Structure 1
Amino acid sequence: MKLNIKLQNVFLEMVCFLYIILFTYAAISKLIDFENFQTQLGQSPLLSAYAASISFLVIFAELGLVVALSLRVSRIKALYLSVGLMTVFTTYIILILNFSSFIPCSCGGILEKLGWNEHLIFNLFFIFIGSCSLLLHQYDKKGIISLLLIVVSSVLFVVFLFLSSEDTMKKQNPFIRRFTPNVASRTLTKNLNNYGFYFAGHSKGNIYLGNTISPLTIIEFDSTLQHKKQYSIQLTPDTLPFRAVKTKILGAHFFLYDGSIPIIYRGLVSDWKATIWVTKKPYFTTLQPIDSTLCVFRGQQLGTYENILGTIALDDSLKIRKQKHLLQKQIDGIFDTDGTLTYSEGLKKIVYTYFYRNQFIVADTALQLVHHVTTIDTTTRAKLKVVRVKKSGDSKLAAPPYTVNLRSAAFNELLFNQSGLRGRYESKKNWDHASIIDVYDITNKIYLFSFYIYHENKMKMSDLLITEKALYAIVGHQIVKYTFGTPMLTQLKK
């Protein structure tokens, strides 16, 4: 009996010693490369929302258990907690392997030389020897119940963190991006041999480009970027004092417009001939066609010059409607409400994304508000320094603006938003070499994931266009195609 007790004590001390070595190594490894450890947690598909607190909590727990396991008076309680901590790690791995949207790299700290499956076996071994030593020490009802409580509560704790983290990441994101693999892959590129191009639209599988330098020229590519055609728009009349001409293509029609005159031409892509559709009013800065007889515009309110949205409808008669209260003023109603106007043909909804705050507006085609959606950045109020020039009465920016959202495009239920800010736990190297696209579910008001559009020859993306199978980007003097992978196609099919 004495020998058995002695062997039990030796086994208990050996197990405690192994746990001490394990936790010491793990904690020191994390401390040496703490920034990388925190970044990996931030990119975790399960615990991203709690990366900051968990990164400190895990290290403190491991070091605390090392001390407690070294003291005879606290050794047994510390061993129970050690088994619980290993159960936490093991549950996390099981969730990663079976319930995660993607499986991240198993690197850093104790995971450095092991894959997820190997590490799962490694953890189970430590749980097994820890449980055996505890049951040998106290093999009775109280000991068994205590061990079961520790294990079950550890599992439930991780499951709770997983479920609450998912909800937080989608609805109350603390600016932590989720870079899901295989969302979009760079597959094709074509040299445009010039600058000034922008996307005019797409129709019947073809991509159309306009050009600010040659505003009457339209370039057509097929979806493979291999077949190219060039068209010249014919205007009647064509002698107006144009200053800022752009073209938008929607289905069989195209709209050529200049809001500074103001004038809107309309024509068919079958012959590229356009006649005046609307002129003399209203003045506008941005135009978005909805169908062949309806356009949404952003203009300015008379007297205050604050930005407003409105609709232009012309069928039998011209109808202009202005919605003065859809854009929400924070500072001056001019710069602070500036943004991108886009349209989801699949949803029949208008989306307006503010440049300088973390929000976009969703409205119907009558400009009735559906809802506001918050982007994952935390800038709720525009950070602008606006001054009024006394001599002219004009408002100007006295300092460079803090741009939150650069540009966006909508397709079906998804909004693709190019962010102007680097998120938490993100690599500066990647940020310096790529643009980040954040994807949102417009209907459910949730953030889904992010992906990179890489610079080409050190040139950044200047425009983007979304189709049902790919994203097209203009980067410098090139058009680049990013083909969607399974995660994106699954969302688009919804």
Structure 2
Amino acid sequence: MKTLRKFFPIIVSFFFVLLFIYASASKMLDFENFQVQLAQSPLLSAYAGFISYAVIILELVIAGLLCFHLTRLWGLFASFAIMVAFTVYIYLILNYSDFVPCSCGGILEKMSWQQHLVFNMVCVLLALTGVFFIGKERAYRWSRTAAELAFTAILSAGSMVALFLSSEYIMKKENNFTRRFLPHPIDFPQKLNLEVNSFYFAGQHGDTIFLGNKVAPLIMGKVYPSFDKLILDTLKISDASLPFQELKLQVQYPYFSLADGHVPAVFEGEFPDVNAQLAMHQKAYFSTIVMIKPKHYIFRGQSTKTRETIMGLLETEPDVKFRFNTTFLEKQIDGIFDTDGNFVTDPVKQNVIYTYFYRNEYRVLDDQLRFTGQGKTIDTITKAQLKLNTLKDGRIKMNAPPLKVNQDQAAYGGLLFNEANLRGRHESAKMWQQAKVVDVYHYPTATYRYSFYVHHDGPNKMRSMLVTAKHFYILSGNQLIRYQRMR
């Protein structure tokens, strides 16, 4: 028994020396990948930079402490603490995280998370036993050793829980531009060849998708949930003689509209009738308009007084009525270029989400043009980075291409899907050449949820997206691609 007490701590110590040296060496040899793995951790994403260095240094220091008789007890206490932390980390992943990531690399690469948990618990018991044996050899009281181990375990576990809670708050509320890529949030792609690349998303009815055509604005495409063919219909308008520049189709089935803000004009119809009647003409110009519900639109225009961009509400029944919101878009520089952005409607909640192109912010309007909230995208560009020049005739022009933060958006059921334009921390530059990145936000609570890649289809990139309850759709080249939503 005395021999066991003497040699067991030594055997345990050298087991941990081998474990920590191998683990730290494997991390250093593939350090960039190790940082990326930590950045994708559902618990420690916000602290990936700091923890990536701290874990390696700590493992090497502990290995050094275990090599010498005078410091071996400290080394075993530290081994006990770090293994308790790792065990709590895996327990939180399995029970409280938003998702379970892929298994980590290194020495435990082939293990499942459940096997990791068992392995770590065995390591905790080995370190604990080694501490007790050394304590017995040095005539420490059992109660003293037990109390020290209990304090160490509570401190270690509590620190891990605190890191988890803090990281979750930072990632969802105060993100430091670290994306969280979930495993396969969209999957099982299906492709439908549209023959031309001039189609755009015009609306949805469940998983029946309506497409407009930029080249032939009165041609409407329709794809049923069977996703086996494109059906074309020709729409008709009551006055085709107007000087259209960009006649755009929108569908809120069974209602549809065709609008051009340069004329300006809005035509309205109801399926199965393909005829659309002129509902508004020359009342107000607009650059973009979205149909929230039948006879009810929110648009972006320009103030006749300040020339700055404003938002407006158009109702076409029983009479044409307008209402304006001049304070919704926040001016930073000129009130025109700095407020430029894209806005989409959530077909479930009937909100409009306006996302600025050149700063990290989105803002929400209800169907009555009332401001209901705002949120931040996870990048760090809080002010539009624009170089503007005022011409002699008063016109304002850009002197240089602006830094674009947000590209395109879609919304469904309280979620905002934002095609991001900037690479975040710990992200592969190579992957950004192979795919687009979509960040997902829960806009009613202004929280970031997760991100995912949309891979290029050969030389073609995603140019537009649409979301339904079950699917995520993109247009890429001549293809309409449908993914199954896994979240």
Preserved contact between residue 102 and residue 183 of structure 2 (Cα < 8 Å): no
Query: What residue number does 2:293 align with?
Result: 291
SS of the residue 1:254 aligns to: strand
Show structure 1 runs of 5+ residues with no match.
489-494
Query: What residue number does 2:302 align with?
Result: 300
Preserved contact between residue 437 and residue 453 of structure 1 (Cα < 8 Å): yes
Say how many residue pairs are matched.
482
Query: What residue number does 1:491 align with?
Result: none
Equivalent residue in structure 2 for 1:111, among 82, 102, 108: 108
CA deviation after TM superposition for structure 1 residue 253, in Å: 1.5
CA deviation after TM superposition for structure 1 residue 374, in Å: 1.0
Distance 1:204 1:136, change over 3 A: closer
1-side partners of 2:257 and 2:395: how far apart? Answer: 31
Preserved contact between residue 416 and residue 442 of structure 2 (Cα < 8 Å): yes
Preserved contact between residue 101 and residue 180 of structure 1 (Cα < 8 Å): no
CA deviation map 1:379-414 (0-9, x unaligned): 111122222233x43222222221111111111211
Query: What residue number does 2:197 align with?
Result: 195
One-letter amino acid of the structure 1 residue matched with residue 286 of structure 2: F
Structure 1 stretch 296-305 or stretch 38-47: which is displaced more? 296-305
2-side partners of 1:373 and 1:355: how far apart? Answer: 14
Query: What residue number does 1:77 align with?
Result: 74
| 1:341-356 → structure 2 map (5 Å cutoff) | 341-356=343-358
One-letter amino acid of the structure 2 residue matched with residue 126 of structure 1: C
CA deviation after TM superposition for structure 1 residue 204, in Å: 5.5
Query: What residue number does 2:252 align with?
Result: 250
Query: What residue number does 1:405 align with?
Result: 406
2-side partners of 1:329 and 1:186: how far apart? Answer: 43
SS of the residue 1:415 aligns to: strand
Query: What residue number does 1:54 align with?
Result: 51
| 1:202-241 → structure 2 map (5 Å cutoff) | 202-203=204-205, 205-241=207-243
Q: Once the two structures are aligned, what percentage of the paired residues are identical?
A: 40
Equivalent residue in structure 2 for 1:168, among 167, 170, 181: 170
CA deviation after TM superposition for structure 1 residue 205, in Å: 4.0
CA deviation after TM superposition for structure 1 residue 7, in Å: 4.8
CA deviation after TM superposition for structure 1 residue 105, in Å: 2.2
Preserved contact between residue 298 and residue 307 of structure 1 (Cα < 8 Å): yes
Structure 1 stretch 326-335 or stretch 74-83: which is displaced more? 74-83
**TM-score normalised to the size of structure 1?**
0.93
Query: What residue number does 1:42 align with?
Result: 39
One-letter amino acid of the structure 2 residue matched with residue 76 of structure 1: L
SS of the residue 1:176 aligns to: coil
| 1:83-98 → structure 2 map (5 Å cutoff) | 83-98=80-95
Query: What residue number does 1:474 align with?
Result: 475
1-side partners of 2:207 and 2:62: how far apart? Answer: 61
| 1:123-134 → structure 2 map (5 Å cutoff) | 123-134=120-131
Preserved contact between residue 374 and residue 443 of structure 2 (Cα < 8 Å): no
Equivalent residue in structure 1 for 2:341, among 309, 326, 339: 339
Preserved contact between residue 188 and residue 224 of structure 1 (Cα < 8 Å): no
2-side partners of 1:346 and 1:7: how far apart? Answer: 68
One-letter amino acid of the structure 2 residue matched with residue 330 of structure 1: Q
Query: What residue number does 1:377 align with?
Result: 379
CA deviation map 1:99-152 (0-9, x unaligned): 333322223223234333333333233222221121112242111111111122
2-side partners of 1:420 and 1:406: how far apart? Answer: 6
Structure 1 stretch 112-121 or stretch 466-475: which is displaced more? 112-121
One-letter amino acid of the structure 2 residue matched with residue 399 of structure 1: A
2-side partners of 1:409 and 1:187: how far apart? Answer: 18
CA deviation after TM superposition for structure 1 residue 332, in Å: 1.4
2-side partners of 1:476 and 1:247: how far apart? Answer: 20
Preserved contact between residue 433 and residue 458 of structure 1 (Cα < 8 Å): no
Structure 1 stretch 140-149 or stretch 88-97: which is displaced more? 88-97
Preserved contact between residue 407 and residue 418 of structure 1 (Cα < 8 Å): yes
CA deviation map 1:36-84 (0-9, x unaligned): 1010000011211111111111111112222222343332122211110
2-side partners of 1:29 and 1:247: how far apart? Answer: 56
1-side partners of 2:27 and 2:480: how far apart? Answer: 42
1-side partners of 2:102 and 2:244: how far apart? Answer: 54
Preserved contact between residue 469 and residue 483 of structure 1 (Cα < 8 Å): yes
Query: What residue number does 2:139 align with?
Result: none
Query: What residue number does 1:259 align with?
Result: 261
2-side partners of 1:94 and 1:205: how far apart? Answer: 39
Distance 1:468 1:114, change over 3 A: closer
User: Given the alignment of the two structures, is residue 483 of structure 1 paired with residue 484 of structure 2, yes or no?
Assistant: yes
Structure 1 stretch 88-97 or stretch 305-314: which is displaced more? 88-97
**TM-score normalised to the size of structure 2?**
0.94
Preserved contact between residue 49 and residue 176 of structure 1 (Cα < 8 Å): yes
1-side partners of 2:252 and 2:314: how far apart? Answer: 16
Preserved contact between residue 178 and residue 424 of structure 2 (Cα < 8 Å): yes
One-letter amino acid of the structure 1 residue matched with residue 454 of structure 2: I
CA deviation map 1:336-359 (0-9, x unaligned): 111111122322322111111111
Q: CA RMSD in A?
A: 1.8
CA deviation map 1:306-364 (0-9, x unaligned): 21101111223221111111000112111111111112232232211111111110122
One-letter amino acid of the structure 1 residue matched with residue 310 of structure 2: I
SS of the residue 1:72 aligns to: coil
One-letter amino acid of the structure 2 residue matched with residue 290 of structure 1: I
SS of the residue 1:242 aligns to: coil
